[in-house]
Amino acid sequence: MAPLPDPDLLRPESSLPGRRLSELAEQAVRCTPACCGASTTVSDGGDEHPIAVTHPDLAGLVSVQLRSGDGPIPAAEERGAPVDAEDLLRDERWPAYRAMALDAGVRSCVTLPFQRGGLTVTLTLFGFRPGALDDPGRGPAQALGDLATTSFVRDRHYRAVLTELDQLSTALRTRPVVDQATGIVMHVLGCDADTAFGVLRRISQTTNRKLADVAAALVETRGRGLERELVSLAR
C-alpha cells in the first residue's frame, strides 16, 4: 500500500517552493518501486526555476537541462505529457544530459509534467536499471504530483489575496488623508474634487512619491507656500 501524502503538502505555510518540491521528490521515491532518486521543478514562465533533488548528484542532471533547454524536463514542459527514456545507454536524444546521466549511473528516467493555473511542475524519476520504471504516470507519483501542483496554485492564489487585502487596508488607512488634501487643493484653487485629485496625482508622478505621502505633506502644511505650484499644476 502506498504511503499517505505528508500533511505538510496541504498547509499554506508550506508554500515555499523549495520545501514543497523536496517533499514531493522524497515521497515519489518512497512510493515508486525501482526508483533510485527524483527531481522536481516549478516554473511560471519567468526566469526563476526552483528545483529540488533527493541526491546531490542529480542536481547537475537538472541544471544541464535548464541551461541548454534540451532534455526530458524541457520536452515534457513543452509537450505537456510524460517523457521517458527506458535505456539511456541506447537513447540518442539529449547528448549532454545523456552523458551526465550515464556517468552518474542512471540508466532510465521518466518526467511527469503537471500544468495548472499558469504553473508547470515537473517530477522526474530515475532508475539504475533500464526499463525499471513501470508507467509511473498511472501510479502514486502521478497522484502526488497532482496534489502538489494543486497546492502550489492554491498557495499562489492565497498570497495574491493577502497582497490585495494589504493594499486595500493601506488604501483605507490613507483615504482620509487623501480626502483632506483634496479639500485643501479645492480651497486653494477653487476647483472641483476631480481636478484637485488630478493635481495630487501629478505631484505624485513628477516627484516620484506615493500619493499618500504627498497628501500627508500637504495636510501638514495646509497648503501654505504651495499656492503657486498648485496653480501651475492645475493648468
**pLDDT per residue as tens digits for the range 1-12:** 444 444 444 344
| 138-192 pLDDT per residue, tens | 678 888 988 888 888 887 766 666 666 666 666 666 788 888 888 888 888 888 8
Whether pTM exceeds 0.85: no
Angle between helices 193-207 and 140-189 (to 10 degrees): 110
C-alpha 174: how far from its chain's center?
30
What is the Cα Rg of the chain in Å? 28
The pLDDT tens digits for 13-58 are 334 577 889 999 999 999 888 899 999 999 887 777 889 999 999 9
- For residue range 77-104, list pLDDT tens digits in order: 999 999 999 999 999 999 999 999 999 9
